[in-house]
Structure 1
Amino acid sequence: MSIAKSGVSLVNKPNVLERARQVLLHEAEEIHQLAKRVSRDFEAAVQLILSCRGRVVVTGMGKSGHIGGKIAATLASTGTPAFFMHPAEASHGDLGMITAEDVVIALSNSGESDEIINILPAIRRIGARILSITGTADSTLSRESDVHLSAAVSHEACPLGLAPTASTTAALALGDALALCVLDSREFTAEDFARSHPGGSLGRRLLVRVKDVMRTGDAIPCISVQANIQQAIQEITSKGMGFTAVIDQTSTPVGIFTDGDLRRLFVQGQTDGNTPISEVMNHQPRLLGIQQMAVDAVSLMEHHKINGFLAVDASQQLVGAFNMHDLLKAKVV
């Protein structure tokens, strides 16, 4: 509903931009104070997750549940198998997802959410460990936990003091801190991150190899070192890559001839189609191994101002070719 249709007017209302700044600064200050209070309990929480032989099960009700879902997703994407379990569904069968090898992270600002308190005895019977994040140190949930982390705030950013705002931000930040400390402890790398994000841009950049983007077989522009310029032009035209490889009798690349080379020959007046390609080709073609990362080719193309590469196997025989269009198609760039 638009402001005009709803009848709401900004006239005589607090300055919107000033209110926005107040909210942001207040939540930032609450996180700043939270950082000052980080203690040995946090180290115990990290160790609890690191020692988990099962999965991390995150649970929370209402707004805490939304924060819990994000924490579970962050843990899962940074090397810690994790998922979110709705506490209300847990008592109706979803507790079957928990095993004795798991760690349960329970979020509740009050520490007294009925849906969570009601399933604590069952979680204990299963044998899973419990890590709680609450805004109240002396609460049922905190007392029943193996490790408790405080996400307490002085007051909410909500002017009514009712809507969870600063408290949920604090819990979210604490969850991020947990996930990243666990990541550091496990020496989780960008390559590891990419393996769990194969559909994202980082995954494509860090997982796609030359063999995944190169053209092979008859699609490779290739002529013999015994060929001439006319044959090179025909090969470049038919394969449409803007260049052709030049190979010897062992299929080893000994040169490359490009559209740019051809244009330079015309400028210089060297247009005889019978000229041996060996006299005009580039004798130092850029080669990449098929196992090299495709993203490496992007940097090399930019550095050397070229548009294509030849791919070779372990014996240095030509097995593929690719250009910038192939990298764009694979969404490496």
Structure 2
Amino acid sequence: MHTPFSPERAVQLARDTLDIEARALLTLRERLAAPPLSQGNAGPPQVSLTPSGGGSASRPWGLSTALAQAVQCILQSSGRVVVSGMGKSGHVGRKIAATLASTGTPAYFVHPAEASHGDLGMVTRDDVFLALSNSGETEELTRIVPQVKRLGATLIGMTGRTDSTLARHADILLDCAVEQEACPLNLAPTASTTAQLALGDALAVALLDARGFGPEDFARTHPGGSLGRKLLTHVRDVMRSGQAVPSVPEGAPFTAALMEITRKGLGMTAVVDAQGVLTGIITDGDLRRLIEKGANLNTLQAQQAMHPQPRTIGPDALAVEAVQLMEQYRINQLLVADAQGKPVGALNMHDLFAAKVI
């Protein structure tokens, strides 16, 4: 039976949902407030695989210690982080695996149902197995837990019930319990999956920091993103080279330089000496200034009209450095010179726009 739609009720339920989920995260943060117990370098806490019936009673440490142990365990592991979960926890698990992988921690997701039909063969004793289940009793997941343990992989359980099967078998227990779901029926996973997702992000960020993962590393794992383009694209990747580089000798008539500017379409040309070393540049702006001065363009040579010692950049510099240089000196074109001072490339703002560096 459908109830009449009420905009006011819809907005109120939305507010209630955000309030409940916000409280869940704040509660999670409070459980992380206590300083972690020092475990030295002895590895993860050892937990009996025999159900104790008391759940967290067999684990004197809190969430902060468990999280620190999880980070230490993953850092010390020579394998990968294998993330698994069923249903909504599985969707969260996929996101956690993706976040770990993109921030320097090799990780992948394994569906628990597929794991019991062969995919468990991808797990090795060097891996860390991160299992997500709010109830801790998800049949498809608890069915493979004993096999994971027999393989020798470290089992990290992320669950909302510390007395569950998953909690009792986990080497490290990440307690992400919430008081209530945002669902009015208190049934659909909402606040619990938000807590899982946030705790997974916290784990990934802690690992990122411990590995010294920086912007350049992030760019390498995100080559298609804007940061990747800025930190991975070099001048040589976007510059025009070979015959596309406008260039005339010092003794060439100014009219020849003007034709070179027109042919190459960059609004400028390099001027080189007899050894091919760059000595100057002639731009469209130089042409306008000469006309304003009333200069006889037919008698000028390139070296008389050029701007000496032009600004250049090396081919191995980042393209974003070329952008900064052009913006700093308010120029639209830039010559690329090698270590010997010879022009090997040229670019303008349009080239950088096309490469999406800007």
User: Normalised by the shorter chain, which TM-score bucket?
Assistant: over 0.9
Residue in structure 1 matched with residue 55 of structure 2 by the alignment:
none
One-letter code aligned to 2:144: I
Change (3 A) 1:329 1:8: farther
Residue in structure 2 matched with residue 129 of structure 1 by the alignment:
154
Matched, 1:289 2:314: yes
Residue in structure 2 matched with residue 19 of structure 1 by the alignment:
13
Deviations 1:135-154 (A, max 9, x none): 11121111111111111111
Residue in structure 2 matched with residue 37 of structure 1 by the alignment:
31
Deviations 1:291-329 (A, max 9, x none): 110011112222211111111222222111111121122
In the TM superposition, what is the alpha-carbon distance from 1:9 to its structure 2 partner? Answer: 4.6
Matched, 1:86 2:108: no
SS for the counterpart of 1:104 is strand
SS for the counterpart of 2:323 is helix
One-letter code aligned to 1:293: L
SS for the counterpart of 2:223 is coil
SS for the counterpart of 2:248 is strand
What is the aligned counterpart of 2:182 among 157, 169, 173? 157
SS for the counterpart of 1:70 is helix
Give structure 1 stretches of 5+ with no counterpart: 1-6
Residue in structure 1 matched with residue 132 of structure 2 by the alignment:
107
Residue in structure 1 matched with residue 205 of structure 2 by the alignment:
180
Between the aligned residues of both structures, percent identity stands at 55
In the TM superposition, what is the alpha-carbon distance from 1:271 to its structure 2 partner? Answer: 4.7
CA–CA distance in structure 2, aligned partners of residues 207 and 23 of structure 1: 41
Matched, 1:254 2:248: no
Give structure 2 stretches of 5+ with no counterpart: 33-63
Change (3 A) 1:236 1:185: same
Matched, 1:207 2:232: yes
Change (3 A) 1:121 1:283: same
Residue in structure 2 matched with residue 222 of structure 1 by the alignment:
247
Cα-Cα RMSD: 1.6
Residue in structure 2 matched with residue 10 of structure 1 by the alignment:
5
CA–CA distance in structure 2, aligned partners of residues 300 and 328 of structure 1: 15
In the TM superposition, what is the alpha-carbon distance from 1:8 to its structure 2 partner? Answer: 7.2
Matched, 1:60 2:62: no
Residue in structure 2 matched with residue 28 of structure 1 by the alignment:
22
CA–CA distance in structure 2, aligned partners of residues 270 and 29 of structure 1: 76
- TM-score (normalised: structure 1): 0.94
One-letter code aligned to 1:277: A
SS for the counterpart of 1:156 is coil
In the TM superposition, what is the alpha-carbon distance from 1:15 to its structure 2 partner? Answer: 3.0
CA–CA distance in structure 2, aligned partners of residues 295 and 162 of structure 1: 51
CA–CA distance in structure 2, aligned partners of residues 247 and 127 of structure 1: 68
In the TM superposition, what is the alpha-carbon distance from 1:14 to its structure 2 partner? Answer: 4.3
One-letter code aligned to 1:33: T
CA–CA distance in structure 2, aligned partners of residues 79 and 209 of structure 1: 23
- TM-score (normalised: structure 2): 0.88
One-letter code aligned to 1:250: Q
In the TM superposition, what is the alpha-carbon distance from 1:47 to its structure 2 partner? Answer: 0.6
Contact 2:238 2:352 in 1 (8 A): yes
SS for the counterpart of 1:170 is helix
SS for the counterpart of 2:197 is helix
SS for the counterpart of 1:227 is coil
Following superposition, which runs of at least 4 residues in structure 1 exceed 6 angstroms of deviation?
none
Alignment of 1:285-324 (within 5 A): 285-324=310-349
CA–CA distance in structure 2, aligned partners of residues 260 and 28 of structure 1: 59
SS for the counterpart of 2:108 is strand
Residue in structure 2 matched with residue 235 of structure 1 by the alignment:
260
CA–CA distance in structure 2, aligned partners of residues 147 and 177 of structure 1: 16
One-letter code aligned to 1:19: L
In the TM superposition, what is the alpha-carbon distance from 1:215 to its structure 2 partner? Answer: 1.1
Deviates more, 1:139-148 or 1:313-322: 313-322
SS for the counterpart of 1:332 is coil
In the TM superposition, what is the alpha-carbon distance from 1:254 to its structure 2 partner? Answer: 1.4
In the TM superposition, what is the alpha-carbon distance from 1:222 to its structure 2 partner? Answer: 0.7
Contact 2:20 2:180 in 1 (8 A): no
SS for the counterpart of 1:15 is helix
